[in-house]
Chain A
Amino acid sequence: MDAFRKIDIDQYDEDRLDASELYEADPRDPAAVLDEAKQRQAAVRSTLARSDIPGALAIVLENAPYGPNVDDAKDVTLQTLLSILNSTKSTEITPAIKALTPDAQDTLMKYLYKGMALPGWGDISGSVLLGWHEKLTEVAGVGCIVRTMTDRRIV
């Protein structure tokens, strides 16, 4: 293909709509977001030690990092979440999901899709993610999946 076909013509459009204009940016400093993610990781560990799955999920899914410049915090959060998902017995999944707020359910769905897009990353297990996906869809409906697709606050 000729080089000119690879030019991003949108950059010359004065009226272009950038992705960053489509959502409200996180006002927090990236370093603070990373600190918070690490604190949550510790909090989740101690909550998991008490086998409190709903509590652990609520901690990690609240104020989840989104947007640019917080990739490290996103990785820590995904790791933390995976540690919860992988250690939950299948019979405990549905009650844990039902205990979440609708906001947290939507965020959980975002992470399930993020995990499925990163095969082989960390301790991702496809079958665990699909198991959670099935149960979450039963509780929150396909609307929850639709919101994962439309929400620009990508985790």
Chain B
Amino acid sequence: MAPQVFQLAQTPVTSHAFSADRNQVCVSFNNNEAQILARRGNEWAVTDTLTEHDKIITSIDWAPNSNRIVTASQDRNAYVWEQKPDPETGALAWKPTLVLLRINRAATHVRWSPKEDKFAVASGARAIAICSFDEENNWWVAKQLKKPIRSTVLSVDWHPNNVLLAAGSADLKARVFSAYIKEVDEKPAPTVWGSKLPFNTICGEYSSPSGGWVHTVGFSPSGDILAFAGHDSTINVVYPSGPAVYSVRIPSLPLVSLTWTSENSIVAAGHDCRPLVFSGSEQGWQESGTLDDAKSSSSSGSGFGGAGTPGNADVRGQSGSGSTSSDTKLTTLHQNTITEVRPYEIVGGEVAKVSTSGVDGMLVIWDANEISALTSKLGGARLG
């Protein structure tokens, strides 16, 4: 099936999160508001606008079972949004609850834990706030993971056991922490990451040989494997009991977001403007293709100019380039950096479809099994 393409705006989509039934999506268009869009056939219409932040929203997550949205922003705050009836009209409206993050820098990324009783907020304050609900005061309180983080935390991902948390940071490290909260969690069963897990236990610390900020981290569905990708154009897969770290170099620009689709495959995307597929096992990992077959891009009629296209010939060090100034459309479907890739549809325990949002204002739903070989190694940066 061809990818479903929605041009939501002409501005960047910084983050997107679907509701459980996939009929609504919460997005932010690179500003201080989050918008809830409802699907009407092949269009998305704005139904609600969440206004409480006063700086750019950096990350959004929608809890599927409790139907709560959490937003994180550069204003150093996070809010939990719940649909409640208006006392006068009785109509359902999204109401925010304050979260006491206690951070003095931007919040960069947020994710609900699998049981939806906690969430983790990454921040520029060299800390991750693990938030749980305080019934007495009717707000969310945070306990901070600080050591040994040395720089901005760029991404977090929960282990399926609701206790372990992976974090990628600008100090070039991917780490696995215990985010065990006594009041919320039951004692977790031992995992490959460890058995005694008081709060802030460091269960693993990894980095890519060629360095680079760690943009994205993700546990495999079982939680036994960790993947991370950084600004050095590599993706790394960690088997903690191995102990083996497989580092896959990619020939294109860095990946900024990843999602596992099964124990043996990952979809990742970023500055190369197209989702790449990686596959492997304990024996090793490799790139196995892309979801963007380059044919789909010609069918999408949008004339949205891709920023970063002109000058690619220079970037690549090509001495002769045939591209003309009017020819600014990339050969990929997304016309600019992909900001986030997330699972969209799960069939039989494996992710069958993934969604991506981009700086080009597009939201795209891809069939995760339609993998085509890479024709050009350079993706968005075309051959001249």
Contact indicator per residue, chain B 337-348, by CB within 8 Å of chain A (1) or not (0):
000000000000
B151 contacts which chain A residues (CB < 8 A)? 17
Number of residues of chain A lying within 8 A (CB) of chain B: 23
Q: How far is the CA of A144 from the CA of B230 in the complex (A)?
A: 13
8 A Cβ contacts from A120-154 to B: 130, 133-134, 137, 140-147, 150-153
List B contacts of A137 (CB < 8 A): 316-318
Q: Is there a chain A Cβ closer than 8 Å to B257's Cβ? A: no
A contact residues around B254 at 8 Å (CB)? 143, 146
Question: How far does the Cβ of B123 sit from chain A's closest Cβ, in whole Å?
Answer: 15
Distance of A146 Cα from B210 Cα, bound (Å):
10
Q: Are B319 and A134 in contact (CB-based, < 8 A)? A: yes
Q: Are B251 and A141 in contact (CB under 8 A)?
A: yes
Which residues in B have their C-beta under 8 angstroms from that of A150? 210-213, 230-232
Interchain CB contact under 8 A, A146 and B150: no
Check if B250 sits within 8 Å of A141, measured CB to CB. yes
Chain A residue with the shortest CB-CB distance to B249: A102
B233 A143 Cβ-Cβ under 8 A: yes
Say whether A130 contacts B317, CB under 8 Å.
Answer: yes
Chain B residue at smallest Cβ distance from A132: B317
List which B197-243 residues lie within 8 A (CB) of chain A. 209-213, 230-234
B315 CB–A CB distance under 8 Å: yes
Residues of A with C-beta under 8 A to B318 = 134, 137
Once the chains are docked, how many angstroms separate the CA of A23 from the CA of B173? 11
Partner of A147, one of B213, B249, B315, B317: B249
Given A130-B319, A137-B316, A142–B252 Cβ distance below 8 Å?
yes
Contacts of A130 in B (CB 8 A): 317, 319
Report the minimum CB–CB distance from A137 to chain B (whole Å). 5
Provide the bound-state CA to CA distance between A137 and B251, in Å.
9
